[in-house]
Amino acid sequence: MYPGGVRPILTFLSDFGGSDPYVAAVKGVLLGHCPELTLVDVTHAVPAHDIFGGAMLLREACASFPAGTFHLAVVDPGVGGSRPALVVKTDRYTFVAPDNGLLSPALERETGVQTYQIRPTWEVPSSTFHARDVFAQAAGRLMSGQSPEAFLARVAEYARLAVPQPRQLEPHSAELERWEGAVLRIDTFGNLITNLPRERFGELLDRHPFSLAVPGGASLTRLASTYETAPPGAPVVIWGSSGTLEISIREYSAARVLGVSQAGARLEVAILKGEPE
């Protein structure tokens, strides 16, 4: 029934919450096309209309799945408007989403990106529920082996989000390097997930003392290897599972203590001369 005889996997991310029938309706359409579909909910708790927040969550989650997985993501404040509906194929995955930047952080890590606009050949009964009537219909047809040429048209580009990147600053006399960073996401535990990647800063923080200035005026100088080694109640920095530096408090919320309520908060990290104590 399915291409190559492989049972399809589809992840689903949205800002639909859990108190309305929207998630179930989308799943109903998908299962109508693929009764044996393996459906994985990434989250439906993206803050309403928060494209950037949804994009960060999708980027973190999607890479854990096997090649051939479909990723359906719908955070769509412009539903029914001029933004196109996309299918994007890469060497590993197929993404289905509105063209509003939601996919761009995940696609930056992919190769073989090919972008298509969905042009429905089926009835679209609602201009306010494209997750059900456009995206789920397109994903279901693709997973069940229907020819994509009937409803997909190749396009050259997709919308891109401006994701903050670390910015190098002029160091002070006692510093080797100084960088400006940003909080990209706050997780359920109140950890502040930054844009400072381990591949760029890991060796520096291992070999030199540092000072990370965070919102509220605190300066963090301790790099914890695990949560267990962090002193209770004190903010520390730790390399998180996303591969970037995180600001955490053992068994408590760093976001609450430091007064950070949303992504975008600015940080400065100074790499100091000398060796760590």
pLDDT of residue 216: 74
Of 181, 173, 232, 228, nearest to 205 by C-alpha is: 181
**What's the CATH class of domain 3-155?**
alpha beta
pTM of the predicted model, to two decimals? 0.91
Side-chain-facing half-sphere of 81: CA atoms under 13 Å: 8
Angle at 139 between CA 108 and CA 31, to 5 degrees: 135
pLDDT above 90 as % of the chain = 81
Query: What is the average pLDDT across 100-128?
Result: 96
Angle at 266 between CA 265 and CA 269, to 5 degrees: 140
Query: What is the average pLDDT across 194-217?
Result: 91
Of 60, 39, 89, nearest to 240 by C-alpha is: 60
The domain segmentation of the chain, as residue ranges, is 3-155, 167-272
Query: What is the average pLDDT across 96-112?
Result: 97
**What's the CATH class of domain 167-272?**
mainly beta
Q: Is 206 a residue whose pLDDT tops 60? A: yes
Decide: helix, strand or coil at residue 244: strand
